[in-house]
Structure 1
Amino acid sequence: MAGVAVDVGNRVECDGALGTVKWIGEVPGTQGMWYGVDWDDENRGKHDGTHNGIKYFETQYPKSGSFVRPTKVSSGMTLEAAVRGRYQDDPTIETHVTDMLQKTINARFVEVVGMEKIGKKQSKLEELETVVLDGWMVWGAGNSDLAKLLPRLQDLDISNTLLSSWESIAQITRQLPSLRFLNISGNKLKLPNNPDELQESVCHITHLVLNNMKGYTWSDLMTCCVMFPTLRKLQVAFNKLCKLGPVPVGLFDSLEEIDIGVNPICSWEEVCHLGTIPRLESLNVNNCQLKKVVFPSVPVHEKTKLFPNLKNLMIANNPLEAWESVGELNKLQNIKDLVISYDENITLYFQEFAFARISNLKVLNRTRLTPKEKRDCELFYLKSFSEDYYSSGGTEDTSASHLSQEFTLKHPTYLKLVEEYGAPVDETKHRSQKSQKLRDLKIELKIITPDDAEREPIVKSFLPTTKISKVKMMLKRQLKINPAAHINLSYCPTKAILWQSATVFEIRMDNDMKEMDFYSIVSGDTLMVRWE
């Protein structure tokens, strides 16, 4: 298919490879015109733009340059042609796409399966709200009347195309006033000389995707974002960013979500540059190279002024010191939803402890806890580190506690939980001998079945570290209950019986992952078994 006339700076395609025309002219010793092309693939060319000692053009890699005859390259198609080829039955476009695929995979014959069905599904272009042209060789709008062609268009994906400038993008977007989502990832675009002049053409975009922008730095990305004053969501993943740098004041006053994932960012200090964005609610830093989260200038019990409205943080697949980082995340004022990776072999019960260590956390790795479940996690956390608490200067009377700095840094929310729920039992006071025999450590319980009065009570012993799920399995065998039945456990403390209360005081044991001693059950208590 014939494309637009090629000038220096235009993007072209040849045999599936993309490049930028850096020079047009004649080469001594040959006849006819040549294009000097700098290929995106560093191994696609043969030289650095130098031929017979003469430097014709600059290349980005030592061997990414080639001289190519104009007839060998394609300058692409207009957006309208691509839309008609993608969504309507245009045999000319079908032939062009087939030719491109044939060259790319070096096949003599290619059949594009389903091509004849594409247009039939969405042939009414005036009703289209979403257009996806990822990988189509679009160079620009041309002379098309896009406002008439796509009057209802809201989402446009023109990633990995032959677009070469922001001016060509502005020519497209100014004709599409209903457009809100724009994906121009994977394009090699020359930075605009005057981005302010293009703002009127693109300012209605609220969700912008600038992934893999082929050589853009953080500063380049910020320059481009000046054109989008009402931006609410920005994606800049896959850009090989090591550093971010400050965000210009006022640039992202409307921004609520940003994705900087899959960039080799090592320092949390770089991420903190985003902390000045006033309305930022969601931050994605998955798959970076962050080693820790730290707010060094913020005392352990205080909140940072950075990220004042951040609610959702995705920080998975980073080589984090997860335990320490979770403690630092408690310094965020409004964090409620966290996605994070951790090694279960290093930190047992990480998920339960994370809910206790981040006061406002409600969702962890897509798991939402009820208020009761969060309370259980907090109580479990208190009990799990009670020995460390007392050995570090803690007391049952919190006003008399003199906790070590090491404990406070490691457990920043512990004292607050003690104040809320009371101090955990100081088990060191009751541990008079370490060589106690196993049978002396067991809890002896009277077991009854309230819904089956004919069953005689039995007495059975359990280790305090036995999980509730295992207790249920043991009781199914002991009481010969159907293995498929659902068992509910509760217990009545001996003290409640001694009080001779008119109402039986039962404590439900409703978390299968907890151990017996989590519920403070002791020898002599009565265990009640019910099943459905």
Structure 2
Amino acid sequence: MSQSPSPLIGQRLIQIIPAVPPSSSSTVRYGTILYSGPVAGTKGGDDWLGVEWDNPARGRHSGEHRGVRYFQTKREGAGSFLRATTLREDGATFVGGRAFLAAVRERYLSDEDEDVAEGSTSQAQAPLAPLSRRNLAEIDIEAPNLAKIRAKLGQLKRLKVVSLTGPVEVTEEDVRELEAAGRVGPSREDLIDTAKSLPGAELGQAESEEIGEALPSIEHLDLSRTLMPSWRCLANIVQHLPRLHTLHAHQNRLALPACEADHAALRSSAGLRSLLSLGLDRTDTSWQDIQLLAPYLPELRTLQLAGNGIDSLHPSGSDVLARLEELNLEWNDLTSFHDLATLPALKRLHLSHNAIAHIAPSQRPFTLLEHVSLTGNPLFNPRTISPSSKVWESMHNLDSSITGGLRSLSVQLKTTDEASPPSMDEDALRLHLIARLPSLATLNGSPVSEMQRRDAEIWWAERMAMPSMAAKLDAASARTMERLKNIHFATTTDTPPAPINTQRPAGALGLKSQLVSVTLRLSDRTPGQTASPPTPTRSAPSIAFLPSMSLRTLRPKLLRSLKVSPREAGDARWFALMRSADSKSEEEGGNIVIELDDDSTPLNRYGLDARVRGDSSHEDEGQEDEIWVVLPS
């Protein structure tokens, strides 16, 4: 069945609906009108709208009724029908949006200022007229706040950052979670007021020029969650904004250019041509869509495409997004990413929370890639990762696919199931990664020092040399072992590397002998410099770690040992309390207390190092060095 030529087709809408059961909060939903007209077998006559909801869970079908197709949703089951009378009667459904400049004035000017600015009073042109003795009396009578209004209009011309974002989409489940937490969302009245002011109306050349004259200084524009229907509409809004460098259009549904007039609008848009950063999270934008739009974004450096359901990438020519340096593809459905090697300037690639289970060897190298994030992918399944799992072959392939090797990586093992902890903790994962990736300089935001690398490589080599592990080494691990033998265990320069001896003679410097053992304390008082620190509210058994590790790396493990949640520890201060080696008893005093005020600094730089092990002054119970976590009372 052909669609109606109604002007409503393609328009965006927002609904503010009281929660069910009745609640002080309301639900918010966004959608796109795909059909307007009759639906056979209903009592609504010709007064029906077919809507595809942004959240597919809102829908009931894909655009059909009783076997008749009226429209086709992009996502299965995301459609439903609304009576058109709803738009006129419920007072909480808004279609199409306002003109952009009107929305800006409403957001940034008072009602009185906006009336004069938009010409809705009989003296509409007065605020723009030059001041003189001749009209001073008229100003006093007709526009007593003219000076203030003109000042504010001048402020609009100086605006560099403009935000016209709409309400966040809220489901019934969201409302229940808010109430369970004892919180209340925005009132229905406030949500309706915001929805009324959202931009989205189509505009012509005259309106585009007016935007450029009224807002010539805009550099950062946030139009997330608005009612804009298309890329053509967006291009017209920014057509005369040549200073624009950042544009956020998250959670919109923008129709692609479909005719020459659409493409002409994008080509002529100075704002698109000057963009350096573009945000398109949760917009249903595919990689093919980006390739279509890329010629209109020649200067783009940063692109955000999180949460778009992207499951495949297609290689592009080197002239497509040729200057793109950072790409965010988190929360998609990707299983591979090597096609992105065609982006010649790519430096940072965010791939967390995709479906990547294996990284194959690349046929084309990433020439400038420095950072990759992989948290939340099956590749790092916290239940199955082990020293002999295939993840290490993937990491070798990733490292080999980058010219000069991988220099920065973000990957964490996270699980909310306390009854089934990860098979490898974060500390061991960090040591494995540092040892296996020779170019790695930053891991999870923390620099990898030379001492950390040495400790990790020796720890890994000793562990892998054990008979139970040596038999399980894959090819990538075997190559790593050979590399580390040459670095740390070779005997001479003219003989083959000596095998690693896991049975070290007494006094040999094994990695275990370098571990620091400390006691953990929790308190609401800062430990003093006296021999008798305050009584802690909680203590934990001794914990051992490499002194080259930083507080940032150790913090999750320390908090787990003290049974403190990260949220509770948000404002905590951390201290090291070190027992003086010259003190044999508490009466002599001499405790040294240092605040751990830089979580990226290796702990040995604060004095927590391997010297304490075997020291006779620390052999008695209670004489270990301590780490104190001080929570504000």
TM normalised by structure 2 equals 0.56
Distance of 2:451 and 2:489 partners within structure 1: 17
Cα distance change of structure 1 residues 286 and 386 upon mapping to structure 2, 3 Å threshold: same
Distance of 2:213 and 2:315 partners within structure 1: 41
Cα distance change of structure 1 residues 509 and 243 upon mapping to structure 2, 3 Å threshold: closer
The answer to whether the 8 Å contact 2:96/2:228 transfers is no
Distance of 2:487 and 2:59 partners within structure 1: 68
Unaligned runs of 5+ in 1: 95-119, 298-303, 393-403, 433-440, 444-464, 488-507, 523-530
The answer to whether the 8 Å contact 1:293/1:328 transfers is yes
The answer to whether the 8 Å contact 2:48/2:81 transfers is no
Distance of 1:77 and 1:257 partners within structure 2: 33
Partner of 2:445: 366
Distance of 1:152 and 1:310 partners within structure 2: 34
The reply on whether 1:280 has 2:346 as its aligned counterpart is yes
Map 1:396-407 → 2, pairs under 5 A = 406=473
SS at match of 2:592: coil
Partner of 2:155: 124
The reply on whether 1:342 has 2:413 as its aligned counterpart is yes
Distance of 1:124 and 1:335 partners within structure 2: 47
The reply on whether 1:167 has 2:232 as its aligned counterpart is yes
The answer to whether the 8 Å contact 1:468/1:511 transfers is no
Partner of 1:252: 321
- Cα shift readout 1:189-242 (whole Å, capped 9, x = no counterpart): 22112575323312221211111113x333223222332122111111110122
SS at match of 1:351: helix
The reply on whether 1:71 has 2:88 as its aligned counterpart is yes
* Structure 1 residue 31 displacement after superposition: 10
Distance of 1:467 and 1:43 partners within structure 2: 47
Distance of 2:338 and 2:234 partners within structure 1: 31
Distance of 1:305 and 1:512 partners within structure 2: 45
The answer to whether the 8 Å contact 1:466/1:515 transfers is no
The reply on whether 1:82 has 2:83 as its aligned counterpart is no
1:416 paired residue among 483, 486, 491: 483
SS at match of 2:292: helix
* Structure 1 residue 476 displacement after superposition: 7.8
Cα distance change of structure 1 residues 17 and 345 upon mapping to structure 2, 3 Å threshold: closer
Partner of 1:427: 501
Unaligned runs of 5+ in 2: 1-5, 17-27, 116-150, 167-196, 386-390, 415-421, 491-497, 507-511, 515-542, 548-575, 595-603, 616-624, 626-633
Partner of 1:221: 290
Map 1:306-455 → 2, pairs under 5 A = 306-321=365-380, 324=392, 325-331=394-400, 332=402, 333-342=404-413, 345-346=423-424, 349-387=428-466, 406=473, 408-423=475-490, 426-428=500-502
Distance of 1:374 and 1:188 partners within structure 2: 47
Cα distance change of structure 1 residues 421 and 26 upon mapping to structure 2, 3 Å threshold: closer
Aligned-partner residue type, residue 85 of structure 1: E
The reply on whether 1:152 has 2:212 as its aligned counterpart is no
Cα distance change of structure 1 residues 289 and 57 upon mapping to structure 2, 3 Å threshold: closer
Distance of 1:54 and 1:93 partners within structure 2: 48
Percent sequence identity is: 23
2:337 paired residue among 253, 264, 271: 271
Partner of 2:242: 177
Distance of 2:513 and 2:358 partners within structure 1: 42
The answer to whether the 8 Å contact 2:465/2:502 transfers is no
SS at match of 1:138: coil
* Structure 1 residue 168 displacement after superposition: 0.8
SS at match of 1:415: helix
The answer to whether the 8 Å contact 1:205/1:230 transfers is yes
Distance of 1:419 and 1:47 partners within structure 2: 64
Distance of 2:290 and 2:48 partners within structure 1: 29
Distance of 2:13 and 2:33 partners within structure 1: 7
Distance of 1:213 and 1:129 partners within structure 2: 25
Cα distance change of structure 1 residues 34 and 477 upon mapping to structure 2, 3 Å threshold: farther
2:299 paired residue among 221, 225, 230: 230
Aligned-partner residue type, residue 276 of structure 1: T
Distance of 2:611 and 2:377 partners within structure 1: 32
Distance of 1:363 and 1:196 partners within structure 2: 43
* Structure 1 residue 52 displacement after superposition: 8.9
The answer to whether the 8 Å contact 1:233/1:256 transfers is yes
Distance of 1:126 and 1:212 partners within structure 2: 31
- Cα shift readout 1:314-364 (whole Å, capped 9, x = no counterpart): 111223246514444432334211111137742663223322211111111
The answer to whether the 8 Å contact 1:158/1:184 transfers is yes
Aligned-partner residue type, residue 353 of structure 2: N
The answer to whether the 8 Å contact 1:387/1:426 transfers is no
Aligned-partner residue type, residue 82 of structure 1: A
The answer to whether the 8 Å contact 1:196/1:226 transfers is no
The answer to whether the 8 Å contact 1:140/1:172 transfers is no
The answer to whether the 8 Å contact 1:155/1:182 transfers is yes
Distance of 1:385 and 1:43 partners within structure 2: 49
**How many residues get paired?**
421
The reply on whether 1:291 has 2:292 as its aligned counterpart is no
Cα distance change of structure 1 residues 378 and 479 upon mapping to structure 2, 3 Å threshold: farther
The reply on whether 1:22 has 2:34 as its aligned counterpart is yes
Cα distance change of structure 1 residues 379 and 405 upon mapping to structure 2, 3 Å threshold: closer
Aligned-partner residue type, residue 330 of structure 1: D
Distance of 1:468 and 1:12 partners within structure 2: 57
Distance of 2:364 and 2:73 partners within structure 1: 45
Map 1:1-80 → 2, pairs under 5 A = 6-15=7-16, 16-24=28-36, 34=47, 36-40=49-53, 41-42=55-56, 57-59=71-73, 61=77, 63-69=79-85, 71-72=88-89, 73-80=94-101
The answer to whether the 8 Å contact 1:43/1:64 transfers is no
Distance of 1:44 and 1:388 partners within structure 2: 57
Distance of 1:342 and 1:515 partners within structure 2: 32
Which of the pair has more CA radius of gyration?
Answer: 1
Map 1:196-207 → 2, pairs under 5 A = 197=264, 198-201=266-269, 202-207=272-277
Distance of 1:20 and 1:259 partners within structure 2: 26
Partner of 1:100: none
The answer to whether the 8 Å contact 1:467/1:514 transfers is no
Deviates more, 1:246-255 or 1:190-199: 190-199
TM normalised by structure 1 equals 0.66
Partner of 1:449: none
The reply on whether 1:192 has 2:249 as its aligned counterpart is no
